[in-house]
A and B are shown apart, each in its own frame.
Chain A
Amino acid sequence: MSNDITQNEALQEYLLRLADSDMILGQRLCELCGKAPALEEEMALMNVALDLVGQARNWYEYAAELLDDGRSADDLAFRRDAQYYRNALMVEQPNGDYAVTMARQFFFDAWHYFTLQALTKAPDERIASIAAKATKESQYHLRRSSEWVRRLGDGTEESHERMQAAVDDLWRFTGDMIEADEVERQMFEAGIGPDPEQLVADWKGLVNEVLTEATLTPPPEGAWMYRGAKEGHHTEHLGFILAEMQFLPRAYPDAKTW
């Protein structure tokens, strides 16, 4: 990303990142429909997914208006390939076992909640209002996912081991999610996005607190991190998600809503 992008371009890029992360995690969670470990968990996962897809739509609609290039919210979701997607690497990771599903959710929810909270104070009313709605949903998601991290971490020997393994495995995708690049710094300077340093501090504070309560060992500071999602470099998983998610609208572009 070059350093001389305009604020409007930065805003469009930023909105797409928010939308894409919501959309991809929503899609990931939907894969568990019909095969979650328990009926109650399935309802919860699908409801979280529904919230995220709803939020994604709100962000896509605004991004489509600002882009003003003839593409609709649906076009942004269903007609962009992996290299144009800007979701965090975290959310495209496979569901794994339930420890992985919930650790991924917790890492994301913590980032999402603090980000949305900052966005509720944005001078742009549209952003503030979408975030005001989403922040309440995100708070609920965070309560649920942090409870699962505690329950599995501080559970049986096996659940502890699995949750620790999930935390250790997913940790390398956290840097890409929480650390700001030029676009996010520009959003902060424009008074829209969160203070990058504060966001990292809040996220680490909450994550360390919950991991400690869950009797889990937080991975060491300075651990190596995967990066690249903000420039469109994804892990191999995203292409498979998009292939499934985008098949119908691409194969039947004339299909209308029911």
Chain B
Amino acid sequence: MQKPGKPEPRSLLVDQPVIASDRIPARDRTKPITEEELWTLLDEVKDPEVPAVSVVELGIVRRIAEEDGEWVVDVTPTYSGCPATEMIEQSIVEALQLAGVRNGRIRRVLTPAWTTDWITDTGREKLREFGIAPPQGSASKLSLTGMDETVICPICGSEDTQRVSEFGSTACKALYRCLDCHEPFDYFKCI
């Protein structure tokens, strides 16, 4: 029986395929593709580790530009050792090819370093809906040796939460629990 005040259990499985090829919108291939269309296209490529948000919403696609007749997509990894980096790059290339862009390539850009400040508002909202607390505050305000952010529970909205571990299931997340609804949740940590 559902206890009063306890949120409905939600499935964390995503019903949308992760692979971009299943989701790219159809387009008129007789016309050359525009930069705007490419942004829309890449907004369909999901982060394999956080499939609720796209690589555009996460802010890891920094720039799309045509250079000497070639489409160059600037991608910045979230973490130096992020194991999803290659897979994301591969998904982007695949999406480009399926949209008919034969002359596209990825350029890995390390600077400026990716920050959670680049996650879009839509991205943050989708993270919350997915059950991951979005990063709170600005990355620049963190202290060197202290951890004192207030993290709001993405399930019941309570501020009474507690950090269980500085790291969660992936490098970009920390593990928290809510002291009100007692649910554990991931926090997309601020860097």
Interface string of A106-143 (1 = CB under 8 A from B): 00000001000000000001001110111111011011
Produce 1/0 per residue, B125-150, CB < 8 A to A: 00000000000000100111111000
Q: Give the residue name and chain of the A residue nearest to B165 (CB).
A: A40
| C-alpha spacing A40/B112, complex, angstroms | 31
Complex Cα gap A142–B146 (Å): 9
Taking CB atoms, residues of chain B closer than 8 Å to A55 are 80-81
- B189 — which chain A residues lie within 8 A by C-beta? 140
* Contacting pair A50 B145 (CB below 8 A): no
Summarize B's interface: helix, strand, loop or mixed: loop
Contact A41 B110 (CB under 8 A): no
Bound complex: CA of A57 vs CA of B142, how far in Å?
27
Contact A50 B83 (CB under 8 A): yes
Interface residues of B in 121-180 (CB under 8 A from A): 139, 142-147, 164-171, 175
A90 to B109, CA, bound (A): 32
CB neighbours of A144 from chain B (8 A): 166
Residues of A within 8 A of B80 (CB): 51, 54-55, 57-58, 130, 133-134, 137
Asked if A53 and B169 sit within 8 Å, CB to CB, the answer is no
Assess A140 versus B166: contact at CB under 8 Å? Given A128-B111, A133-B110.
yes
- Whole-angstrom distance from the CB of B182 to the nearest CB of chain A? 17
Does B33 interact with chain A (Cβ within 8 Å)?
Answer: no
Residue B191 interfacial (CB < 8 Å): yes
Give the tally of cross-chain contacts (CB within 8 A). Answer: 90
Residues on B with C-beta less than 8 A from A48 are: 167
- Whether A43 sits at the interface, judged by CB under 8 Å, is yes
B82 to chain A, nearest CB (A): 7
A15 to chain B: which residues have CB within 8 Å?
Answer: none
- For the complex, is B77 an interface residue (Cβ under 8 Å from A)? yes
The answer on a CB contact under 8 Å between B77 and A146 is no
Residues of chain B contacted by A40 (CB below 8 angstroms):
164-165, 167, 175
A29-85 residues with Cβ-Cβ distance < 8 A to B are 40-41, 43-44, 46-48, 50-55, 57-58
Which residue from chain B places its CB closest to the CB of A125 in the assembled complex? B111
Task: Please tell me if A210 contacts chain B, counting CB pairs below 8 Å.
Answer: yes
Contact B82 A54 (CB under 8 A): yes
Q: Nearest B residue to A144 by beta-carbon distance?
A: B166
In the complex, the answer to whether A133 meets B113 with C-beta atoms within 8 Å is yes
Category for how many chain A residues contact B:
35 or more
Contact A210 B145 (CB under 8 A): yes
Per the bound structure, the CA–CA distance linking A210 and B145 in Å amounts to 9
With most chain B CB atoms within 10 A of its CB, the pick from A52, A128, A144, A210 is A144
Shortest Cβ distance from B161 into chain A, in angstroms?
Answer: 15
Query: Complex Cα distance A55/B110, Å?
Result: 11
**B188 adjacent to chain A (CB < 8 Å):** no
Docked pose: A150 CA to B175 CA in angstroms: 21
Q: Which of A43, A129, A139, A146 contacts B142 (CB 8 A)?
A: A139
Listed from nearest, the 10 A-B pairs whose CB atoms lie closest are: A54-B81, A40-B165, A54-B80, A129-B111, A129-B110, A50-B81, A44-B167, A47-B167, A132-B113, A146-B145
Further pairs besides A41-B165, A43-B168: 14, Cβ < 8 Å: A47-B171, A50-B79, A54-B80, A55-B80, A57-B81, A125-B111, A129-B109, A129-B113, A130-B80, A133-B113, A142-B145, A143-B145, A206-B144, A210-B145
11 A-B residue pairs with Cβ-Cβ distance under 8 Å, sorted by A, are: A40-B167, A50-B81, A50-B83, A51-B79, A58-B110, A128-B111, A135-B113, A136-B191, A137-B79, A143-B166, A206-B145
Chain A contacts to B: CB under 8 angstroms: 40-41, 43-44, 46-48, 50-55, 57-58, 113, 125, 128-130, 132-137, 139-140, 142-144, 146-147, 206, 210
